[in-house]
C-alpha cells in the first residue's frame, strides 16, 4: 500500500501542475501576466505502524517575476514598466494592489483604469480622475499631462502622477483576481521605477516551454497510473496465492 499511496498522491500533484501549466498557456496573450509555478514537497505520513508512507503536498503557487517582452503600440495611454516595479491600483476590496498591466483607459467618469477595470492610484494613494484633456501624455515617472479641452492653454499641464512601487519580491502574493499584494501592507512609492510610454509589456509565459511542460506532465501522469495498476495487479495475484494456500 506504501507504493500505491505514493503513486496516487504523485498523480494528483501532476494533475494540479497541469492545471497551472494550462492556465499559463491560456494567458500567453495577457498583458503583463506573470507565469505561475506549481510548488510541491514530499512529506511523511505519521501514525501506526511507522512513518514509512510519504505523500506529495501542494504548496502555494509562486510567480515567475521575470519581465515580459515590451511591444511598442504608439498609444498615449499605453505604458510598460522598464525593469522591476509595479503600477498601484485599487482592488475590489478598496485596498492597494499591484499590476504590470499598462493597458490604461479613461472611463466615462474620467477615472483612469486598467483594461480589467481597476482604478489606477495616484499621488496620496487616491484613484486618479483625469479632467477633459487633449493630447494626454504619460511621462516616464508616471506624470499625466495634457492640454485642457476648450481652454486657452497652449502648453501641457500636469494633472496627477501614477503611483509606481517596487516592494520586495518575497513579500508579493498573487490573488485570485490576478493582482499582486504585499504581505507587509501597502508599498511606498518608488521614484526609481520608470515607464515606457506608448508600449505594453507582454506575458512572460514561453508558449513552447509551456507546451513541452504539458507533454511532460501527461507522460508523468501515465507513469503514475501504470504504477498504480501494477501495484493493484500484484496485490490481486498475492491474494490469489494466499487463497490457494
pLDDT digits (tens, 9 = 90+) for 74-112: 999 999 999 999 999 999 999 999 999 999 999 999 999
- Paired with 82 in beta bridges are 194
Could you give the count of Cα atoms lying within 13 Å of 90 in the half-sphere of its Cβ? 15
Instruction: Give the SS3 label for residue 124.
Output: helix
Cβ atoms of 85 and 166 closer than 8 Å: yes
Q: Is the pLDDT of residue 24 over 60?
A: yes
DSSP 65-112: -----EEE---TTBEEEESS-EEEEE-TTSSEEEE---BEEE-TTSBE
CB within 8 Å of 131: residues ≥ 6 apart: 110, 148, 149, 159
pTM (predicted TM-score): 0.80
Name the least confident of 151-160, 174-183, 236-245.
236-245
pLDDT digits (tens, 9 = 90+) for 188-227: 999 999 999 999 999 999 999 999 999 998 898 888 888 7
Report the b/e string of 42-75 with b at 16+ CB within 10 A.
eeeeeeeeeeebebbeeeebbbeeebbeeeebee
pLDDT digits (tens, 9 = 90+) for 133-176: 888 999 999 999 998 877 666 678 899 999 999 999 999 999 98
Q: Is the pLDDT of residue 1 over 60?
A: no
Dist. CA 169–CA 116, nearest whole Å: 23
Q: What is the pLDDT of residue 133?
A: 86
Dist. CA 95–CA 180, nearest whole Å: 11
Cβ atoms of 40 and 174 closer than 8 Å: no
Which residue is associated with the grid cell 507546451? Answer: 211
Amino acid at each position: 500500500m506504501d507504493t500505491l499511496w505514493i503513486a496516487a498522491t504523485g498523480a494528483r500533484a501532476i494533475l494540479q501542475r497541469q492545471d497551472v501549466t494550462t492556465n499559463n498557456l491560456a494567458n500567453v496573450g495577457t498583458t503583463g501576466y506573470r507565469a505561475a509555478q506549481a510548488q510541491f514537497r514530499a512529506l511523511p505520513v505519521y501514525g501506526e505502524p511507522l512513518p514509512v508512507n510519504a505523500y506529495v503536498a501542494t504548496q502555494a503557487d509562486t510567480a515567475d517575476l521575470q519581465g515580459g517582452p515590451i511591444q511598442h503600440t504608439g498609444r498615449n495611454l499605453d505604458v510598460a514598466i522598464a525593469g522591476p516595479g509595479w503600477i498601484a491600483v485599487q482592488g475590489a476590496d478598496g485596498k492597494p494592489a499591484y499590476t504590470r498591466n499598462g493597458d490604461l483607459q479613461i472611463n466615462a467618469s474620467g477615472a483612469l483604469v486598467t483594461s480589467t477595470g481597476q482604478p489606477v492610484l495616484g499621488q496620496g494613494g487616491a484613484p486618479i480622475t483625469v479632467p477633459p484633456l487633449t493630447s494626454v501624455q504619460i511621462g516616464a515617472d508616471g506624470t499625466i499631462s495634457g492640454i485642457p479641452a476648450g481652454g486657452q492653454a497652449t502648453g501641457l499641464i500636469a494633472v496627477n502622477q501614477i503611483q509606481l512601487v517596487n516592494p520586495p519580491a518575497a513579500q508579493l502574493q498573487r490573488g485570485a483576481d490576478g493582482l499582486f499584494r504585499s504581505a507587509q501592507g501597502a508599498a511606498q512609492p518608488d521614484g526609481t521605477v520608470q515607464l515606457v510610454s506608448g508600449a505594453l509589456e507582454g506575458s512572460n509565459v514561453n508558449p513552447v516551454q509551456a507546451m513541452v511542460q504539458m507533454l511532460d506532465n501527461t507522460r508523468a501522469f501515465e507513469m503514475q497510473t501504470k504504477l498504480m495498476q501494477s501495484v493493484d495487479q500484484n496485490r490481486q495475484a498475492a491474494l490469489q496465492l494466499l487463497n490457494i494456500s
